[in-house]
Amino acid sequence: MPRFSSRTAVPLVAAASAMLVLCSCSAGAGTKSDAAAPREQADLVAGVGSAKDSAGPAPAVEGAREGGTIRVANLRDYSHLDPAKIYAGEAYNTSLLWGRQLTQYQVTDGKPKLVGDLATDIGKASDGGRTWTYRLKDGIAWEDGKPITSKHVKYGIERTFAPGFEVGPPYWPQWLTGKSDLAQARKVYGGPKKDGDFDRIETPDDKTIVFRFHEPQSDVPFMAAQSSSSPVRPDKDTGTRYDLKPFATGPYRIVEHRQNRSLTLEKNPHWKAETDPIRHQYADKFAFTFEKKELNTAQEILNGRGDGAATITTKNEFPPELIGEAERDPKKKDLIVDGRRGAFTYHLIIRNDRVADPEVRKAVHYLFPRQQARQALGGPRVGDIATTYSSPAIVGWESYDTYPVRPTGDIEKAKRHLAKAKKKVERLSYAYESNAVNDRMAQVLVDAFAKAGVELVTKPLPLPAYTNEVLRGADPKYDLWMSGSSVDWPTPATGVPYRFDSRRDSLDNDPRYRNPAVDKELDRIARTGDATKKAKELIALEKDTIMKDVPVVPFLHQRVQQVRGADVGGAFIHPIYGTISPAWLYLKKS
């Protein structure tokens, strides 16, 4: 699990200012209504498209019209716009406006499908999955009209090896060098400016790029959708300044970026819809503003004040203070866009080396009052109660319930497992980030544990201390804490093997789970050349072995609510990136 990336722990489920991160689902592109998605929805996972699906243009959004300026009001500017440094779902999502990758997710009626973006398809494997070949489309161009070539894709990927790009995804450096340790990978190759050409990436002609991996890599088509798979033209590589204004390949280009103030996009005249199966170019302009309070932004949008009717938020969550107002007014309620927060799940982490007796961990599972805890955080709007570790949004997911329990908990079953424990348990410790909602949830847990005769000693911490001491700390002195996690693409390949491999350090394996049989099986599955088979085997390992040990207690498959102006059409929560996706938006009036 990469360090605090798109799979970063998210301790604040219900905080209005929570940063939005990776990956499923809601009302989708092309649907007839912009209203919030229904609570009952199908489990959506990414299908795989054909070369025909990859051709372009993108499926039309019903009712869409062209023209006007869509305004995006977010509390914070982007930490990174350089495609090699982007590693968060909302930034991935927004960067689709100006950036293209080898592959990407086409969304129709809320359903995602992986297709070729710059490439003609999702890639062709050979040599048992050790070699992957991509062919670029005709007619793809930069914002100045010059053609995008395979050498530009190669250079963009080679940059990810260089110092300064550690904040981005690690997979190209790791997979192409065969080194799981990123520092060691960079000793093999240190980027194009330091070490020149990298022979593991071949460009036999301007349209073909070949990747040669040391081991079979069945998830390359999904990884190739990450922003780090974007081309970069060497003559436009401005170093650290590229982070503020990357050169465009998508339907829009950045004309001005005033850091922490505004970001202005206009149409890219050299983008061709017939080459792009993903994006649209309905609006004339996107005008982003930053640093405005979330509550004020949401009020303006709900009430249509000023530019509110033409405004959306892509980072901000809908403020809980306005939920009552929206519920009382159907027109305002219709402006809330609801969906799953990608593949994010929220768990009660049990530190297995401190709570080593599986009977005690089972007792914790039965004691945990999921329904009451969710209500303390804000109710059903924050997520659907989970019985599985992995999210329904990923390939291979299977519904299961290892130790069935009522959402309210089962004190009597908990007592029975505590009675089987090798050593009497009188108290456990619980650390959490202190704020109003988390304080309420902590009290819910204290009350539930007390009913079984266990004192839950709480340790409320301010966010910096909670992050550094618990989430990032090598040795937090607590038994229990809450943590959110996701995957870097919609398969379990970057979830289960990271959190439950005993050979990984505590920043990945935060429960400190240890099972040699699981380690051995993870090694075997890693060599699987078929992504679908690999996903199914990982989910089977999760269901049949790992969760029987109760290393964590599943809590929520998280949801997110954002808000759109009354004149903004095409708004939906992206089924992979978990935020409103600008690439499908249009103005009903302009």
- 377-433 pLDDT per residue, tens: 999 999 999 999 999 999 899 999 999 999 999 999 999 999 999 999 999 999 999
- Compute the distance between CA of residue 413 and CA of residue 2 in angstroms, rounded to an integer: 37
Angle at 253 between CA 62 and CA 210, to 5 degrees: 90
User: What residues contact 544, with CB distance under 8 A and at least 6 apart?
Assistant: none
Instruction: Give pLDDT, residue 46.
Output: 63
Q: What is the tens place of the pLDDT at every residue in 491-546?
A: 999 999 989 999 988 888 999 999 999 999 999 999 888 888 999 999 999 999 99
Mean pLDDT of 549-577: 96
Instruction: Give pLDDT, residue 25.
Output: 31
Please answer whether residues 28 and 11 qualify as being in contact, where contact means their C-beta atoms are separated by less than 8 angstroms. no
If pLDDT is split at 50, 70 and 90, which confidence band does 569 have? Answer: very high
User: What residues contact 587, with CB distance under 8 A and at least 6 apart?
Assistant: 65, 67, 68, 69, 70, 282, 283, 310, 567, 568, 569
Looking up tokens 């499923």 gives: 24
- Compute the distance between CA of residue 447 and CA of residue 442 in angstroms, rounded to an integer: 9
Q: What percent of the chain is helix, strand and coil (3-state, nearest 5)? A: 30, 20, 50
Phi, psi of 338 (to 5 degrees): -115, 145
- Compute the distance between CA of residue 127 and CA of residue 125 in angstroms, rounded to an integer: 7
Q: What is the tens place of the pLDDT at every residue in 194-216?
A: 999 999 999 999 999 999 999 99
The DSSP output letter for 247 is P
Q: What is the tens place of the pLDDT at every residue in 131-188?
A: 999 999 999 999 999 999 999 999 999 999 999 998 999 999 999 999 988 889 999 9
The sheet with strand 131-135 has its strands ordered as 124-126, 131-135, 208-212, 201-205
Instruction: Give pLDDT, residue 358.
Output: 97
If pLDDT is split at 50, 70 and 90, which confidence band does 44 have? Answer: very low
Please answer whether residues 399 and 385 qualify as being in contact, where contact means their C-beta atoms are separated by less than 8 angstroms. no
User: Strand pairing of 103-108 and 111-116?
Assistant: antiparallel
Instruction: Give pLDDT, residue 506.
Output: 86
3-state secondary structure of 462: coil
Q: Which domains does the chain have, with CATH numbers?
A: 343-559 (3.10.105.10)
Q: Residue 113 corresponds to which tokens in the numbers above? A: 């499908």
Instruction: Give pLDDT, residue 143.
Output: 98
Instruction: Give pLDDT, residue 590.
Output: 67
User: What residues contact 375, with CB distance under 8 A and at least 6 apart?
Assistant: none
Q: What is the tens place of the pLDDT at every residue in 243-301?
A: 999 999 999 999 999 999 999 999 999 999 999 999 999 999 999 999 999 999 999 99
Asked if pLDDT for residue 352 goes beyond 80, the answer is yes
Question: Which of 156-165, 465-474, 576-585 is predicted with the least confidence, judged by mean pLDDT?
Answer: 465-474
- Mean pLDDT (the chain) is 91
Mean pLDDT of 558-566: 96
Instruction: Give pLDDT, residue 47.
Output: 76
If pLDDT is split at 50, 70 and 90, which confidence band does 38 have? Answer: very low
Instruction: Give pLDDT, residue 45.
Output: 59
